[in-house]
A = this chain, B = another copy of it.
Amino acid sequence: MPQANMTPAFIGIDWGSTHRRATLLGADGAPASARSDSEGALACAGRFRASLEALLGDWPEAGGASTVVMAGMVGSAAGWQPVPYLEADTPLSALAHHLVRIGDAPSGRRCFIVPGYCLHDEQGAVDVMRGEETQLFGALHHLGPEAADGCYVLPGTHSKWVRLRQGRIVELRTYMTGELFALLSQHGTLASAMRGPGTAAGMSDGVDADRHFLRGVDDAAARPALSHSLFGARARVVTGGLAPANAAAYVSGLLIGAEWADAQRLASRDEPVRLIGEPALARLHALCAAHHGRHFESLDARQVQLAAWRALASESPTS
């Protein structure tokens, strides 16, 4: 008696710099189980195959999944196998046709890497993504090809602002928001300015933290030179105008506010900025959007990623 729903068929892995999240889809495309660990690309240097074998070997339900598709930093120069970026004129809808097969896959598995994208603008600037193209491909399937046109923000270590038009990535601007926040929180003079009771308030949902966050958003708009506005956080602390406990929320507002001040023009006034990301970051971006009088729509990042794996499972090469 065939049990189609019980036949594991496909594994999608979001394999970033510091984390890895693997999703097993049944033959019907429904998620059967998932695994997360901190075997990111940085930790796996030189042993990607062994790390994947260990993941699969410890995952009985994954035994029958012959196809593994991986997205993210696993395809970078520091990853398993360097996969060239696609140029922006390659439609996202064709992503499955550009998967790159891994030469040294574990026995019995067909392993592919999703290529990232690079965009050159008219002024000669270049920007890149790896991993986010798979989320955008998921959004395309989740929302439908026509409804998916528009402006997206994918916040995180490197926050991406993207404009999709007719299934193509036509604009891309990356901001080092999360990385700068981490650097400034851990090292240097702002870290000591932030040190104080309740420092974690920067990402809290307290009314007071939100007020300081939005002051940062305003100041980022008024003072576009970030290296100046960041020093202003220190100046406010040492002159008593800002309590150390609120400094992290304020700095977070300066950094995320700098994105909005620069990037919101990617969206026209009457269309929403769509966010794909963690709820805590979605909440801060929703505050920014309301503050700037912009429409905002938060998509469920897990659903979007799942839509991507489901589409790749049905579209990826079968031989």
Residues of A participating in the B interface, judged by any CB pair closer than 8 Å: 76-78, 85, 118, 123, 125-128, 158, 173-177, 179-180, 182-184, 186-189, 192, 219, 222-228, 230-232, 234-236, 238-239, 241, 255, 258-259, 261-263
Contact = CB atoms under 8 A, between A and B. Distances in A.
Given A127-B235, A231-B175, A262 B225 contact: yes
9 contacts: A125-B219, A175-B225, A175-B228, A176-B189, A176-B228, A225-B263, A227-B255, A227-B258, A228-B262
A224 B126 contact: no
Given A118-B239, A183-B187, A235-B127, A226 B227 contact: yes
Q: Which 4 A-B pairs have the closest CB atoms?
A: A225-B262, A226-B226, A175-B227, A174-B231
Contacts of A123: 222
Nearest to A123: B222
A228 B174 contact: yes
A225 B125 contact: no
A29 to B, nearest CB: 33
Contacts of A261: 225
B128 A76 contact: no
A17 to B, nearest CB: 8
Nearest to A261: B225
Contacts of A239: 85, 118, 126, 128
Q: What's the dominant secondary structure at chain A's contact region?
A: helix
A155 to B, nearest CB: 12
Contacts of A192: 78
Given A179-B189, A235-B127, A238-B77, A224 B227 contact: no
A232 B176 CA distance: 10
A241 B127 CA distance: 11
Contacts of A179: 188-189
Contacts of A188: 179, 182-183
A224 B262 contact: yes
B183 A238 contact: no
A224 B223 contact: no
Contacts of A182: 188
A85 B226 CA distance: 24
